[in-house]
Amino acid sequence: MSAFVRREGILHAEGVSLAEIAERFGTPCWVYSRHALEEALDEFQSELVGIEALVCYAVKANSNLAVLDVLARRGAGFDIVSGGELRRVLAAGADPRRIVFSGVGKSAGEMELALRVGILCFNVESAAELDRLDAVACEVGKVASISLRVNPDVDARTHPYVSTGLKENKFGVAYEDALPLYRRASSLSNLRVSGIDCHIGSQLLESAPFVEALDKVLLLVDRLAAEGIALEHIDLGGGLGIRYRDEAPPTVRDYLRPILARLRGRRLHVLLEPGRRLVGNAGVLLTRVEYLKPGDVKNFAIVDAAMNDLARPALYGSWHDIVPVVRRQGPVRPWEIVGPVCESGDFLGRGRDLALAAGDLLAIMSAGAYSMSMSSNYNSRPRAAELMVDGNQAHLVRRRETVEELYALENRLP
Ligand code: LLP
């Protein structure tokens, strides 16, 4: 059930009215629901009861410490892609033994930090990275557990920018290179071959591509076993989509059923790296209409949030539902919901049929994933505040940036 519901005409996050949040904390701001986060994680974990499995939340989707904390307390592990994310996750109190490190460009410094704190596994994405990791592990006097991220060359049938499992993508090692690379990895003395990994894309709306990828990966697992390289875990990445508009993504149960059926009896630990599915529908961006600018060709509603806050519509043409916090009577018109940033691409929604007046509050829905985490300071706009609602309480989990902070690291010439 959605944590964002209308009560007495006012949109609420759990027990707190969004109008009250806007009053107290100002707009624009992000509002997350603790309950929605927990429920989304539970949906995975309840399917995995009795199975050696770990849900490693993909931190890039939303890296606020409070979000990480809520998920860590409920037993989530983490999938990180930088030293920055590693330090965030540790700051949130996560157990390093539940962290996997993905990404094509890990620096030696990042590897060293991850080795020192003792993460669970490095998802290695190239031959060159394998050599670097072995060398860094040797210097630090540690053994690095690794899996190879294999590119299974399957079509995830999603937006090309978020499709990652095709040969033409930069991610992972080519399928046919995997066996020789595993042989090489098992000969390197500071590496311990522990698993295999794949991630084929994001916002997938069917389970078939996951299953296709898994079948290919399992072929490799069997070939490796025949050569005496026994893997302990299989990491199936993230990618399960959510409903933004009218999509009908599979339930977690339907997504996992064919996967778990294929893994039955194999004694492989299962890792998953969901990002969007855990946080996407657990957050909204709350914004206020500054001006209405009706016109002959288009009607513009200029709001106080912009593409620097939520880049997805401008970047991918993504749809986010936009709903008034309080519905008003009056003529409905199609509005271009745009921000104050000086770019024609600065839109949050196009042609939305709404009855609007200046000063109205709007909630931009499904803004928990790849939203604040992809925000910028373009046009010297301070990043918006983040709130986490827990029952009847709204907690400020990141205060609004100040303009002084934006240029605090800069110097004028002497
Ligand atoms: N694991 C790896 C290695 C990944 O690269 C990603 C996402 C995930 C897990 C989590 O995927 P998810 O479960 O969230 O689909 N900015 C884009 C999405 C980029 C996804 C990047 N990788 C967007 O706003 O749609």
- Whether residue 243 is contained in a domain is answered as yes
Asked if residue 121 has its Cβ within 6 Å of ligand 1, the reply is no
Q: For 36-55, how does the pLDDT look when each residue is reduced to its tens digit (9 = 90+)? A: 999 999 999 999 999 999 99
Determine if the pTM surpasses 0.95. Answer: yes
- Among protein residues, the one whose CA lies closest to atom 6 of ligand 1: 238
CB atoms near residue 393 (< 10 Å) = 12
Q: Which residues are part of the catalytic machinery?
A: 342
Tell me the pLDDT band of 389, cut-offs 50, 70 and 90. Answer: very high
**Total domain count, the chain:** 2
- Whether residue 412 is contained in a domain is answered as no
What is the reported pLDDT for 155? 79
Q: Are 301 and 257 part of one and the same domain?
A: no
- Among protein residues, the one whose CA lies closest to atom 9 of ligand 1: 238
* Residue at a domain's end among 277, 309, 330: 277
Provide the domain limits for residue 95: 34-277
Q: Are 13 and 26 part of one and the same domain?
A: yes
* Residue at a domain's end among 254, 277, 300: 277
- Whether residue 315 is contained in a domain is answered as yes
Of all residues in the chain, the percent with pLDDT exceeding 90 is: 95
* Among candidate residues 282, 239, 286, the one with its CA nearest the CA of residue 259: 239
**DSSP letter string, 28-91:** SEEEEEHHHHHHHHHHHHHHSTTS-EEEEEEGGG---HHHHHHHHHTT-EEEE-SHHHHHHHHH
Q: Are 241 and 310 part of one and the same domain?
A: no
Q: Which of 60, 67, 198 to mutate to test the pocket of ligand 1 (most atoms within 8 A of CB)?
A: 60
Q: Are 152 and 299 part of one and the same domain?
A: no
Q: Are 186 and 248 part of one and the same domain?
A: yes
Q: Are 60 and 141 part of one and the same domain?
A: yes
Q: For 74-117, how does the pLDDT look when each residue is reduced to its tens digit (9 = 90+)? A: 999 999 999 999 999 999 999 999 999 999 999 999 999 999 99
The type of residue at 24 is R
Q: For 62-78, how does the pLDDT look when each residue is reduced to its tens digit (9 = 90+)? A: 999 999 999 999 999 99
Instruction: Report residue 240 as tokens.
Output: 């399960």
* Residue at a domain's end among 247, 277, 307: 277
Rounded to the nearest angstrom, the distance between the alpha carbon of 387 and the centre of ligand 1 is 23
Q: Are 99 and 181 part of one and the same domain?
A: yes
